[in-house]
Structure formats: C-alpha cells, structure tokens
Structure 1
Amino acid sequence: MSRVSALGRQVGWILSRRLRRVKRCAELPPQANFVVVYVEHELSNTQVYPFHLYADDIAQRHGARLFEIALQDFEADADRTICPQVRWVAFQTGFDLSDGQMQTLLGRLREVFPEAALTYLDFFAPLDLRYAAVLDPWVDCYVKKQVFTDFSQYGRTTVGDTNLTDHFARRYGIDKPQFRFEVPQGFGDKVVIGSNFCVSPRMIDRFRGRLPRTDRPIDVHARIATRGVDWYQRMRQEARQAALAVQGVRTVSEGRVSQSRFYDELAASKVCFSPFGYGEVCWRDYEAIACGALLIKPRMDHVRLAPEVFVPGETYIPIEWDCSDYEDRLREILADDKRRREICAQAFEAVHRYIEADAALDDLAPVFEAAGEARR
C-alpha cells in the first residue's frame, strides 16, 4: 500500500466525520436516525470507523443514516432537545465510570432519544465486560472487539480488574485488590463481536492488496516498550529480555521509530514478536500480518475475535505466557522457511478475505436488527 493511498483513506475518514458531526443534539437534521456518541481516542476511533466506512451500505440495508456527537459535547449540552426520529444510538464511554455515572448517562440518552435502541461500543483492550450489570436493562447490543472463547470465564473474581492482571500479579507476587464484574444471565446473547484493528483507516488498504514479497534481512522485529504500571512493566520486560537473550539472530529492538520506519522494518523482518499489552490483541499483531512477518505471540486459545487470526501453527506461532519456550519456537520457525512463508500467507489471507467480503458490515447487522425487533 502506498503512503498516498493511506493519506487518501485518512482524508476520507476526516471528511466523513466533519459532514456527520454535530455539537448539540438540536443540530441533528430530520433524516438523522442513527447517532454515534463517541469518545475521541485512537482506540475508540477504530470502533467508530466501520460505521463511516459502510455508511452507504448501512443506509441501504437498514435505512440508518449516520450522524455523530462527541460524548463530552453530549454531556455538556444543556439543551433538552428531544430527538424522537432517532431509532438507533451507539455510544462509548471511558473505562472508569462508576455505576452511578453510567446510570446518569443512560438516563440522559433515554431522555434525548426516547425511541432509540441503545448499543454500547466497548473499545477497551481487556476482555472483561465491566459494565454488563448496569447496562443490561438498557442496551439491546453490546459490541466488543474480542471476548473470552469460554463465556463462563466472565463473572469470576480476579486479582486486579482483568484476567491479565490476575495472571501476572499472581506470578510476580504483586498485591492488588480483587474485582468481580457481574455478568447477568443471558447477557451473552447481546454481545456482538465487532471488527478489530484491521478495519481502520491505516490498516484496511494494506489487506486489500497482496502479501508483500520482500527481502527479509531482519530475523526478528521486537521493539517492545516496557514503561507502564507494575504488572505490565514486569511482563513486557520479561518479553523483551527473552527476545534479546537469543544469540546468533538479528533482532531489532532498541529505541522508538516513526510509524513509516516501523512498517518498513516489519516488511524486512522474517518474524515479529508481539507480547500482550493491557489486553491480548495489539495493533502490532495486524501490522505484522499485513507486512508479511510471521507472528510469534503468547498463546491466544482463550480469545475469540473476527477474523480468527490466532489459529496455532496456521496463522501464528504461540508461546507460553512466561516466554520460556520463545527461543525454541523462534529457532524452529527460522529453520523452516517454507513453513514460515505458509503461515504468513494463511494469516494474511484470513484478514484479506474478511476485508474483501465486507464481513465487518455483516457483523454489525445485529445493531440494527435488534432495534427492528424492539419496534415490532
């Protein structure tokens, strides 16, 4: 993908938002029957982008005409304009609201949009459903990028507020308070797996083309930032040390570089080592696949997402969470160039098919169909 096409995609995204954005609900035109209340952040934007990308298709299929308003503008709007023409509202929030704060927001949304079915857009990195209990009586759909494969994992008590804090705090002996996010019976029926980082302005066109065929003089790409909270820092340092401990391979790991150089390095790398972040799924996972670098990553058996890009031995090479087998798995795959290329091709093709089939558009259909059910 050329930098020109990437720039064009970004410009189109910016223009779409300008055309559809309002500062106050009173500014919504009569035809605005689908409103996204969004949080401005790089991660949250990837969840809103598909609604813009497929706006014309969504209008044709469901009759939904998109407009949007920032959460901070919605909450600051003192005008109590009622918008009965709005049939669908999808909204985001921060990750640290109290139940009372969420209840207040839900009441305001219902007041302003009395006829709308509500969808919560959870853009958070961890797998938890932290607002499930408070949202359950209000929302028709709950869209999330990734969830536990085994839904029974929800509702259990953890050390810290996620399954990752639980695992690594216990491993490293870090004292943290316990959390339990209740998930009501039947809430799983409302959960919709939305698209991930591959359907974003900076990634989607990389998967519309072909797998890069380039020389790969770098054995391993492992630029692993380590600054963060206690358990995160320990986890990332452990991963970085595992990468640097392997002798006789060329590993790129030091310093920060521009995004363009980062992509150039990935396209010149045989392997990309992508440890967990604050959640399991990272930008780097898709960046590696798009650039044709084989992905080595802590085991992802417990995660379900779309498209399925974590099939062990078929689309990535899994390692143990303590990185104890990193060197063995790395040397095995570096010694088998044919298998490495096959895995890279299969991973790229999985995402390519998903993008070309506009599968993200189909994944979002329940957001609008649930509203239809509520109206009958």
Structure 2
Amino acid sequence: MITVLVSYERISLFHTMEPFFSKKFRKLFHFTQSPEYCLTKDKNSVLFMERCFQHREPRDLASDELSLIKKLRDKYKTIVFLNGQPEAGTNRLDLLPYVDRLFYKSVFSDPGNYTKDLYAKNLFADYYHKKFNISDKDTEYRYKPVVSIGDIKRIELSWNIGVGNYPRKNWPQRAGVVLARSGFPGLRQFFKTKLKKRPSDFSDPARPIAVHARIDPVSCESIAYQRRLYIEKSATNKLFLTGIVPQNQYYQELKKSKMTLSPFGWGEVCFRDFEAIISGSLLLKPDMSHLKTWPDVYIPYETYIPTNWDGTDLIEKAEAYLSNDQERKRIAENAWEQYRSQLAGLDDRFISIFHDIL
C-alpha cells in the first residue's frame, strides 16, 4: 500500500485526486492529513504528497516545512510530490533535493525556463512585469531557482484541472470538503455532478451571445494584469458580454455563447476552458504554446483560438471567427472530442506515470 499525505480542499478533492479515488486504484492507497502519522506510525515505504506547503507567500519552504520534508526524506524510500499550483512555473523547485519525483499540472515546453529567474515564478507574470512594468506588493515573491539538467529530468507532467468534476457546484463541493477533512473522503462521489452530454449546437449561429467574457479579477497584480488588459479591450465592444453573474446564470450563458474568452488566472489552464468546451462554445484564449499539459485541449486553430498575450489581436480574432460559422463549429467540436477522448484514457495515463510504483 502507498501512503498519500493530502491537504483536502476543492481542487484537491474534486480534480487532482480524481484518479486516486477511482474504483480501479482506491484500494492501493492509504490517505492521511497528518504528517505526524507519517513520521511515527506509517509502515509504508512510498509516500505521495499532494498540495502540501501551499498556503503561504512567498512559495518557498519555511523553516518548519523544511524540517518536515527532511524528516520525511529520511523515512521513506520514495517520495512523490504532486504540486498543487496551477501554472507552469518554477515554484516548488526547492523540493527537488528532497523528493524523487516532482509533478506539475503543466510544464514548460522549453525546459530551459526552469533555470531562469522568472518574476512571480511563472512565464506570463514575468512577461507583464518586463513589458508593462507590473510589480506585486510582496517584494519577496521572487525566487531564483538553482537547477541542473539532472534536476530538470525529475520534473514531470501529471494532469490538470480538466480531470474531475464538471460542471462545478460550489455548495456541494464545499460539503464534500468538510466530510473529507472529517475523515470521509470517499463520500466525495455523492457531491459530484455528471458531465453533460455532447452538445447538439456547437458554436451555432443561433446562439445569441457572441463572446462570453465574464471575467473575475484576481488579487495578485502580476497575474491580474492580463485579465484587466483583456477586460479593457473588450468592455466597450458590443460583441463581448462582460460583468459578473451568479454561477447558475454563468453556466446557462455559456450554452448560449458562440465563443468564450478565457484569459489566464492563477495558472494558464482555467476551469473556464473546460466549462466552455463542454458547453460547445469555441475557446478564445491567450497563446498556450509555452507549456505542455494534459488533458491537452490547446492545439492552435484545432481546439482553440490563440491570442497575443498583450491582447492586440483579441478583437480581430473574435470578429474573424464570428464571421466564419463553419470553422467555428469545427474547432469547438474538435475540442469537445479531444477532451472526451483524453479523459477516457485517464486510468491508462495514471498507470503509465506510476507503473514503477503501483
């Protein structure tokens, strides 16, 4: 049996841990929220750590965290860390000396980026910092990684938030988290919603909303800037539906939208990407070619429409595809098929990643 040290919250329970709780693999794992249990009682030799050391800024190990990971390293033969951060970035590279395998939800297409001093530890925040002089209030947010080619080889790709529960429902998921933290993570299945059937009207001309662009701001300045940039460019254009609405209305609107604008959030891969795809809406999104991820629904002009990170071609791209019904439908349908086919291979992917451990 394999021990899993987990910090239950919504993304963890309903997305990251999804394959661990499948009927095929559930009995292979013992789940615990207690580092003390791992250190004093656990008899297993393999430890999976999920979303630990995440709730602080800057995202480097504090002294007590460093002490814990060293003790765990001394005890376990194999430690696998599943990084909970959503972006392709250099966060959590400080764990490399203490873990055998370090998994990210997205990884850089160019491994050389892991050797760079990236502002806010990700490529897109670094871009806005340098191009537009955007800085965060937390001056300790920077971190220069020191990694070798050998270290980079231990950075691996797991799966992103496309794996898991859609459409998301706030209150049922929160109830599931409370029960998981109380020792009943298996009850999560009763708080899941089923993925909707294949849309019959992919990006159809009859859909009344041209471009769905209801975008929430985020607090971190270097991450929020892209969203503000896109909001400013779309706010005065009648093609874009902007503003904030309740969750149920948001989902209903996606079903009526020809296209959906989904800028980066805390990471490049966003819930909105998959919400758009399952709704049959064509995804319009900042270029994703700098990373690799899975499920991969980011094939330019085949599963989504990429835009420049500075938004200079946003209106042009929207207008071009709104005037091409056939191509818009083709790409939206491709994205749905790509997403569904990759999800069907989740168990196989899980085995292929961890075949030497399971």
Q: Indicate the TM-score class for this superposition, using the shorter chain for normalisation.
A: 0.7 to 0.9
Tell whether 2:30 aligns with 1:67: yes
SS in 2 for 1:57: coil
Tell whether 2:193 aligns with 1:230: no
Asked if the contact 2:116–2:145 (Cα under 8 Å) also holds between the matched residues in 1, the reply is yes
Structure 2: how far apart are the matches of 1:298 and 1:320? 6
Structure 2: how far apart are the matches of 1:233 and 1:135? 27
- Long gaps (5+) in structure 1: 1-32
Tell whether 2:323 aligns with 1:317: no
Structure 1 residue aligned with 2:183? none
Structure 2 residue aligned with 1:147? 107
Q: Which residue identity lines up with residue 281 of structure 2 in the other structure? A: A
Q: Which residue identity lines up with residue 241 of structure 1 in the other structure? A: E
Output the aligned Cα RMSD: 2.6
Q: In the TM superposition, what whole-angstrom CA distance separates every residue of 1:148-167 from its partner, at most 9, and x where no partner exists?
A: 11111111012333222211
Q: Which residue identity lines up with residue 65 of structure 1 in the other structure? A: L
Normalised to the residue count of structure 1, the TM-score between the two structures is 0.77
Tell whether 2:339 aligns with 1:351: yes
Structure 2: how far apart are the matches of 1:360 and 1:265? 29
Tell whether 2:41 aligns with 1:82: yes
Distance 1:115 1:156, change over 3 A: closer
Deviates more, 1:43-52 or 1:169-178: 169-178
Asked if the contact 1:141–1:370 (Cα under 8 Å) also holds between the matched residues in 2, the reply is no
Structure 2 residue aligned with 1:218? 209
Structure 2: how far apart are the matches of 1:110 and 1:99? 16
Structure 2 residue aligned with 1:329? 317
SS in 2 for 1:237: helix
**Of residues 162, 165, 173 in structure 1, which corresponds to 2:125?**
165
Tell whether 2:231 aligns with 1:240: yes
Structure 2 residue aligned with 1:51? 20
Structure 1: how far apart are the matches of 2:218 and 2:149? 38
Asked if the contact 1:274–1:285 (Cα under 8 Å) also holds between the matched residues in 2, the reply is yes
Shift of 1:189: 3.0
Asked if the contact 2:119–2:126 (Cα under 8 Å) also holds between the matched residues in 1, the reply is yes
Structure 2 residue aligned with 1:29? none
Asked if the contact 2:207–2:258 (Cα under 8 Å) also holds between the matched residues in 1, the reply is yes
Structure 2: how far apart are the matches of 1:234 and 1:108? 40
Normalised to the residue count of structure 2, the TM-score between the two structures is 0.81
SS in 2 for 1:246: coil
Q: Which residue identity lines up with residue 213 of structure 1 in the other structure? A: D
Structure 1 residue aligned with 2:2? 34
Q: In the TM superposition, what whole-angstrom CA distance separates every residue of 1:133-176 from its partner, at most 9, and x where no partner exists?
A: x4334323222111111111111012333222211122222346
Structure 1 residue aligned with 2:82? 121
Asked if the contact 2:166–2:195 (Cα under 8 Å) also holds between the matched residues in 1, the reply is no
Asked if the contact 2:321–2:327 (Cα under 8 Å) also holds between the matched residues in 1, the reply is yes
Structure 1 residue aligned with 2:92? 131
Distance 1:287 1:361, change over 3 A: same
Asked if the contact 1:147–1:305 (Cα under 8 Å) also holds between the matched residues in 2, the reply is yes
**Of residues 141, 144, 160 in structure 2, which corresponds to 1:196?**
160
Asked if the contact 2:50–2:84 (Cα under 8 Å) also holds between the matched residues in 1, the reply is no
SS in 2 for 1:271: strand
Shift of 1:212: 4.4
Shift of 1:68: 1.2
> Kindly, what percent of the aligned residue pairs are identical?
25
Residue correspondence of structure 1 range 280-291 to structure 2 within 5 A: 280-291=268-279
- Long gaps (5+) in structure 2: 168-191
Structure 2 residue aligned with 1:98? 61
SS in 2 for 1:179: coil
Structure 1: how far apart are the matches of 2:315 and 2:356? 48
Shift of 1:98: 2.0
Q: Which residue identity lines up with residue 233 of structure 1 in the other structure? A: A
Shift of 1:329: 0.6
